[in-house]
Chain A
Amino acid sequence: MNTLFALTKRNVKLFFKDKMLFFTSLITPVILLVLYVTFLAGVFEDVFRASLPEGTSDKLINAAVGGQLFSSLLAVCCVTVAFCSNMLMIADKTNGARGDIAISPVRRSTVALSYFIASAFSTLIICFAATAVCLVYIACIGWYMSFADIMLILLDVIVLTLFGTGLSSLINYFLSSQGQMSAVGTIISAGYGFICGAYMPISQYGSVLGHVLSFLPGTYGTSLFRNHALAGVLSEMENLGYPSEAIASLRDSLDCNVYFFGNSVPVGAMYAILGGFTALVVGAYILLNVFGGKKRKNKLKQKAQ
């Protein structure tokens, strides 16, 4: 246990002290912020003004735009930060640290677990900090959130972080060079914002792409954030007596409702999809480490005989 704790502590420290890894992990959220500041916020504001009755308060519209930004930011942060912090697993292979650890009697599974825990922990620190900043921002521009919404958003952060950490652990297990590390980092940083619907709602994509993206668990992670970050705003609209058709249409266009071949996926099912997929990738990662180690030991014995 002490060994696991010490290795995890080492991995967390290394992530925060390695400026390249740390700043790379923030590229996607920064891109998103730049997109919002430069034009996305304006585009969404125009859409809300056009689809809501005249006289809708600026506070409500700002809260809707802010909720959109908040949910997008967290949806990308939880996954891209997890991928980048877990790059340490590959960096250790290329810079000799893994070799140095391998000459000690520590179990391979302990080392693997330390990467997983450290990556999840580092990601949670950054994402909770981002959540706090976003909540302050929302409070400044228009607050309609309940305590339950905040709790559910924190739950979403944990669920999506575990999903990102599990997926990155499984992918990084097979990578062992600087080139592979850069390639995966670039693909995730550049592409994840699009495929999870953070840069633009999936409802805006064509139906074929929409169907394809409905197979990706990340889509449901973004939708969970959308549901909980915008629940207060949508509830206020109901209270103000806005037409239910207009609100339903808004929920669709904001990706609060995600459809799997025409069927709306409820929030509970979204958690089940993310949880199930996370369990699957984490299970695969555990099996690879346990059986990979046993296979290696057996191979050594067979060769020696």
Chain B
Amino acid sequence: MEESKDDIIVIEGLNKSFGEIKAVNDLSFKVKRGELFAFLGVNGAGKSTTISIMCGSLSRDGGTVIIDGVNIDERPDAVKSEIGVVFQSSGLDKQLSVSDNLKSRAALYGICGEAFKARLNELTDLLDLQKLLRRPLGKLSGGQRRRIDIARALIHKPRLLVLDEPTTGLDPQTRKTIWRVVEKLRRDEGMTVFLTTHYMEEAADADYVVILSEGKKVAEGTPIELKNKYTGDFVTIYGATEKQIQSLGIKAERRGDAYRIAVPDTAAATALITAHPDVFTDYEVVKGKMDDVFLAVTGTELAGE
């Protein structure tokens, strides 16, 4: 696999087994700088294992991992300084205050004293942490803790932010807040975001998607490419009678007051509409969703949707 300066992550032939179980199986992919990269798969597909290997906290059985042009075997500390991780489960200390947590984690990167205060102020503004700083982490709500996890991941200004199911179990308002912050980081700082999620609408906004199944890459591309390749379009007709629908001679699914027809692609939808202008007076054409892509590629649906 060729490495370009545009790529912040290059993974080639990655393998990892836990006993008999092959968690990651000859996995190769690249992530471009500044990209929102979605890494999808059901639980146990190998997503978190791959992330742990990228972060240098888990050994691998084979393959190459290059982060920001640095091989993780050559200069692991340099790689670790470039990555910020929001884990599925927080690794922060529940008994300590938010401020103490961030202070102890900042020190791991050599950020102390005035430098820490300055960074804490930036993160407080970005994530609206002012009222939380003195409170013990264990007393915060799930959404508030997630914001602290993000602050911890950003404490050393990483170039690559890894979000391992960051919004699972959160209310819509908090999810929105988190995505607002992520978008701001991408826009203002050109940060690359590596995302795993169970929410397909979040994956649909990604620049590039890789889908894993049983440790193997089973599909990759932009969301549109994947939709075009693995799902068709759907035409929804409003205000048509059952007789009119039957006259089309194709299978239609009733959905409330409307009928939905699956077609192979947008060209087929256009042909159908222009052939029956009397039936298609009020209609919409939509592409398949990422859920349909995931189902078509892996044969399973993601939990948590």
Contacts from A to B (Cβ < 8 Å) = 2-3, 5-7, 9-10, 13-14, 17-18, 95-106, 296-297, 299-301, 303-304
In the bound complex, do residue A103 and residue B96 qualify as a contact, i.e. CB atoms below 8 Å apart?
no
* Interface of chain A, main secondary structure: helix
In the bound complex, do residue B107 and residue A3 qualify as a contact, i.e. CB atoms below 8 Å apart?
yes
Interface string of B57-73 (1 = CB under 8 A from A): 10111111000000001
In the bound complex, do residue B59 and residue A296 qualify as a contact, i.e. CB atoms below 8 Å apart?
yes
With A6-B107, A103-B85 known as contacts, the answer to whether A304 contacts B63 (CB < 8 A) is yes
| Cβ of B105 under 8 Å from chain A | yes
In the bound complex, do residue A18 and residue B95 qualify as a contact, i.e. CB atoms below 8 Å apart?
yes
| Cβ of B77 under 8 Å from chain A | yes
Residue of A nearest to B75 (CB): A105
| Cβ of B109 under 8 Å from chain A | yes
Please indicate which of the listed interface residues A5, A18, A106 has the most CB atoms of chain B within 10 Å of its own CB. Answer: A106
Residue of A nearest to B153 (CB): A103
In the bound complex, do residue B62 and residue A10 qualify as a contact, i.e. CB atoms below 8 Å apart?
no
Interface string of B82-119 (1 = CB under 8 A from A): 01010101111101100010011111111010000000
In the bound complex, do residue B55 and residue A103 qualify as a contact, i.e. CB atoms below 8 Å apart?
yes
Residue of A nearest to B113 (CB): A2
Contacts from B to A (Cβ < 8 Å) = 55-57, 59-64, 73, 76-78, 80-81, 83, 85, 87, 89-93, 95-96, 100, 103-110, 112, 152, 156
Residue of A nearest to B149 (CB): A100
Residue of B nearest to A106 (CB): B108
* Interface of chain B, main secondary structure: loop
In the bound complex, do residue A14 and residue B62 qualify as a contact, i.e. CB atoms below 8 Å apart?
no
For residue B81, which residues in chain A have a CB less than 8 angstroms away from its CB? Answer: 105
* Besides the known contacts A96-B87, A103-B80, 11 further A-B residue pairs in the complex with CB atoms under 8 A apart: A5-B107, A7-B107, A9-B104, A13-B96, A14-B96, A103-B56, A103-B57, A104-B156, A105-B109, A300-B73, A303-B59
Q: How far is the CA of A259 from the CA of B199 in the complex (A)?
A: 71
Q: Of the candidates A13, A101, A297, which one forms a contact with B108 in the assembled complex, judged by CB atoms under 8 Å apart?
A: A101
For residue B108, which residues in chain A have a CB less than 8 angstroms away from its CB? Answer: 3, 6-7, 101, 104-106
In the bound complex, do residue B112 and residue A6 qualify as a contact, i.e. CB atoms below 8 Å apart?
yes
Q: Of the candidates B62, B93, B100, which one forms a contact with A304 in the assembled complex, judged by CB atoms under 8 Å apart?
A: B62
In the bound complex, do residue A99 and residue B87 qualify as a contact, i.e. CB atoms below 8 Å apart?
yes
Cβ of A190 to closest chain B Cβ, rounded Å:
26
Cβ of B85 to closest chain A Cβ, rounded Å:
5
For residue A299, which residues in chain B have a CB less than 8 angstroms away from its CB? Answer: 59
Q: Of the candidates B56, B76, B87, B103, which one forms a contact with A100 in the assembled complex, judged by CB atoms under 8 Å apart?
A: B87
Please indicate which of the listed interface residues A10, A95, A304 has the most CB atoms of chain B within 10 Å of its own CB. Answer: A304
Q: Of the candidates A2, A96, A301, A304, which one forms a contact with B107 in the assembled complex, judged by CB atoms under 8 Å apart?
A: A2
Q: How far is the CA of A96 from the CA of B152 in the complex (A)?
A: 14
With A104-B80, A105-B109 known as contacts, the answer to whether A304 contacts B96 (CB < 8 A) is no
